[in-house]
Structure 1
C-alpha cells in the first residue's frame, strides 16, 4: 500500500524540500518522495499550479488521509511535527519554551538563511552553471554571517541547542542549507567557533539528517551538467 504522505520536489532535493523530508524522517512518518523535473517545468504545469502550489514552487506535501495539501517548507515542517512529534515544537512544553523555539526559527529564517543561501549560490551554484562569482558580494555576506554566528556562539555556550537543552525544529531547520554551506570555502565560520561547531556536528550526526544528506549531493546534482 502506498504511503499516505507524498512530498513533491526535485529528485536531488533542495534545502526547502530537505526541510520537509527531514521532519518526516525525524517523526518516523512513512512518505513517498515524488520527483519533479525542473528542466521539464513540472512545477509550472497547469495541474500543479491548480492542485498543488499556485506559486509554482516545491516542496508540496499531500496527505491522503486528511485530504490535505500544503506548500511552504516551514509550514510543512511545523505541521508534520505538530501532528507527529510536537515536542520538537514545544521544548519542555511550557509557553516560554515553545516561544524560544519560535524565536530561533525566526532567526534562522530572517538572519541565517538569506546570508548562507547567497554564499552557497555564489560559491557552489554559480561556478557549476558557468556564472561569474561576485566576490565582493560574497565577502560582504561572509562578514555579516560571521556576526550572526557570533550570536549563535554566545547562545550555544549557554545551552546545548538554540532553543534550550533539547533539540527542536529551530535546530533542524538549519540543517538543509548548512549541509551545503559546509561544502564551501567559508565553512571556517563554523569551524572556528567551538560551540557552533559542536552544535553542527551533533546536528549532522542525527540518523534522520544522515538519511536526508544522502539525497543532497554537494554539487546539487549539477556536476555532470557542468562537465558536459
Structure 2
C-alpha cells in the first residue's frame, strides 16, 4: 500500500517527512492540502490532525501527525537498514535522540522565526519583516550554531560520524534560511557547520525534496 502524505511541498514540516520517505526509498502520494483556503482547519483534514496543521501521514488504517513522530515511525517500520535512528546501538541511538531534541528545543525556534519573518510573512500574509525580532532571533541562532560548530569539529554529523534523523530534521528550514533570507552567513561563516550543511543537503533524497523550496525574499 502506498503511503499518503497530506501536506504541501513548500511546507517545512511536510518536506521534513518527504525527505525521510525519500531517504528510505518508499513509494508515496503527496495529497495537497490548500492552506490558503483553510482546508487544513476543516474536515476531513481536521480529523487527521486535530490541531489543523500539516502534514499528516496515512499508512493503511493508521493516521499520524507531527512530522518528527511520523519520521520515527517510518524509520522503525520501514527504514531499519538506513540506520537513521541507530537503534542497534544504545549509545548511538541516545545521541540521535539528544540531537533531535536539540533541533526541536533550541534550533527550531529562532530559525523558524527568521524564515517566517523573511519568507512566509511577506509572501503569504502581506506583512513586513520586523527587524527587531529578526536581530534578536539571529543572535539566538548564532549562539546555537556556535554549539553546533564545536560539536561538528569532532564528528562529521551531529550525532556522530553517521547521518541520522538528527541531521535530516534540519533540512527545510536551513535551505530556506540560506536561499531566501540575508542570514546565510550564519552557516557559511562557521566552517564545520558549512561542511555539515553541504554534506546533508547534497544527498540525493535531500536534493529531490529541497528543489521545491524556491522562494526568494
What's the TM-score, normalizing by structure 1?
A: 0.89
Structure 1 residue 58 displacement after superposition: 0.8
Partner of residue 70 from structure 2, selected from 68, 71, 76:
76
Summarize deviations over 1:200-223 as a string: whole Å, max 9, x none: 01111000001001222224xxx9
Matches for 1:1-228 after TM superposition, within 5 Å? 4-10=2-8, 12-50=9-47, 52-64=48-60, 67-86=61-80, 87-90=83-86, 93-128=88-123, 129-183=125-179, 184-219=181-216
CA-atom RMSD in angstroms: 1.4
What CA distance in whole angstroms lies between the structure 2 residues aligned with 1:43 and 1:90? 34
SS in 2 for 1:90: coil
The alpha-carbon distance between structure 1 residues 54 and 216, as it changes in their structure 2 partners (threshold 3 A), is same
> Gaps spanning 5+ residues in structure 2: where?
none
Q: What is the rounded CA distance, in whole Å, between the counterparts of 1:46 and 1:153 in structure 2?
A: 44
Runs of 4+ in 1 over 6 A off after TM superposition: none
Q: CA deviation at 1:114?
A: 0.4
Distance across 2 between alignment mates of 1:190 and 1:109: 18
Q: C-alpha distance in 1, partners of 2:153/2:185?
A: 18
**Post-superposition offset of 1:117:** 0.5
**Structure 1: how far apart are the matches of 2:178 and 2:107?**
14
Higher-Rg structure is: 1
State the shift of 1:134 in Å.
1.2
CA shift, 1:8, in A, is 0.3
| Residue number in structure 2 paired with 1:226 | none
User: For the structure 1 residues 173 and 41, does the alpha-carbon distance in structure 2 shift closer, same or farther, using more than 3 Å as the test?
Assistant: same
Q: CA deviation at 1:48?
A: 2.1
Render the CA deviation track for 1:141-197: whole Å, top value 9, x for unaligned: 111111100000000000000000010000000001111011211110100000000
- Distance of 1:46 and 1:62 partners within structure 2: 15
Q: TM-score, normalised by structure 2?
A: 0.94
User: Where in structure 1 are there 5+ consecutive unaligned residues?
Assistant: 224-228
Residue 38 of structure 1: how far off its partner (Å): 1.1
The alpha carbon displacement at 1:77 in A equals: 0.7
